[in-house]
Structure 1
């Protein structure tokens, strides 16, 4: 259990820090270039570790369609959308919005996973989370000149969160049953995402990131090594240990970290941002409690002696 709690904390810390790194890099390179470098420097150590541990097998190619789906949507597109949105938003607000995948995971779980149903508490949690997203996006501010939030940035960030949230369902349904080592799955996924981004991204001028040492270090170490490579390993570990909804709930730390970093960087963090964050955190807590109730109510005397996935 200690390892699980540690994984939650580290994953929340890494994800919450990602938004300031993207913000630092945005003035120098494009969102596509940020995503490419992020995947590149996340993939290299994973590939070396996978090779040294001997987890990659030629026969795993038969799952290439699943790896490709995760690479295209949960990695390439999701990372691009987050980078695009963060470039247009304060990193604290982007971080709060980026902490919402669990809400969309819960909705999709009820639709696509037979063993994960939504009860009344979970429905209320989804509603609370949507209220938090609306509050921090504050679309009504577009009608006034009082510090409007970029709705385009909000849309990009939410799109990334939705796709990332749905990826938990895809992994749970199609990849978890094949019992491959998490390191093997993430290495295939990252390698294919790197190829996709390389093919679709205009890399001209990427070297401009070297003009700023802080931005370069943020992309290489923050986004690549920690926010991508290490985070994927933690993500698959939590998914196997806790299931789809609970694993995605690891992002409950993300809004807190992102807001604190944004505040430290000089961004305005007022009551509205704090209330929105609390609504989203409350939403995730309600979703998790609701999920636990559903699991407990579905346990039969026979199931109680078995491991429930």
Structure 2
């Protein structure tokens, strides 16, 4: 039987912990057997949960030593740095070949232990910038549901953590078993790790006083028009090569990637706050054609403009697709 240890840290987020507890515990093989033995463990016999209550925990850090999979849920930033015994227990688990996965801000725990250095990783979109800032050796991918590096996996929020757990079940026992587990949890199995989180980040920060600030403002003011790399570089007074290098250094993105996200952000705002048809929004955000708009919006946001408007439109009223 595959042993799964859920590592609860101080101020653990209950939703992040409940998803892996539930899905692994409810998984059944075709003959009805449960393939996973799930244990909740912690450094201390009692941990505080984010939300004002405490949890009694039946297993200590030694449970990580014989676990086949360790899942680290997110915890509140108020919990502070992870203790050295927890970090060392995680390092020993990885050295022994144990699969280790994190949910949401649990990625910070893995990063503090040095387990994400040189790897791709994700976390909740709201914390992705902080993860990248604090751990520059980690390649943070803020726009995906989860990242599978083989032995080490990371996921975004609690729902994405459930997607990641179903992905691991599919790896272990095949799609039919994973689909049955998904039905038990009343969630779809179809969401893949590379699908974008259902939100686009705010404009990436740049250092105060940066030479890029006027250029970024000009780009946002001209989204409805053609904006080329040459025009951006000329606006900044740099060569295209120098501008591209400086832009990546200060934003972590290429100019054209930043432009695409700025256009998507404009489109999201219009979908949420106007009844303009998609054809008009495509022009206002600078996508050129509705077809290009739909394709690029889905690639970045993970859903269609129509579905996004249905979920987030600020006022009642049908909108043209």
TM-score > 0.5, shorter chain as reference: no
Question: If each structure's helix is expressed as a fraction of its own residues, which one has the higher value?
Answer: 1
Question: If each structure's strand is expressed as a fraction of its own residues, which one has the higher value?
Answer: 2
Q: Could you say which TM-score interval applies, normalised by the shorter chain?
A: under 0.3
Bigger relative contact order (CA 8 A; separation at least 6): 1
TM-score (norm 1): 0.24
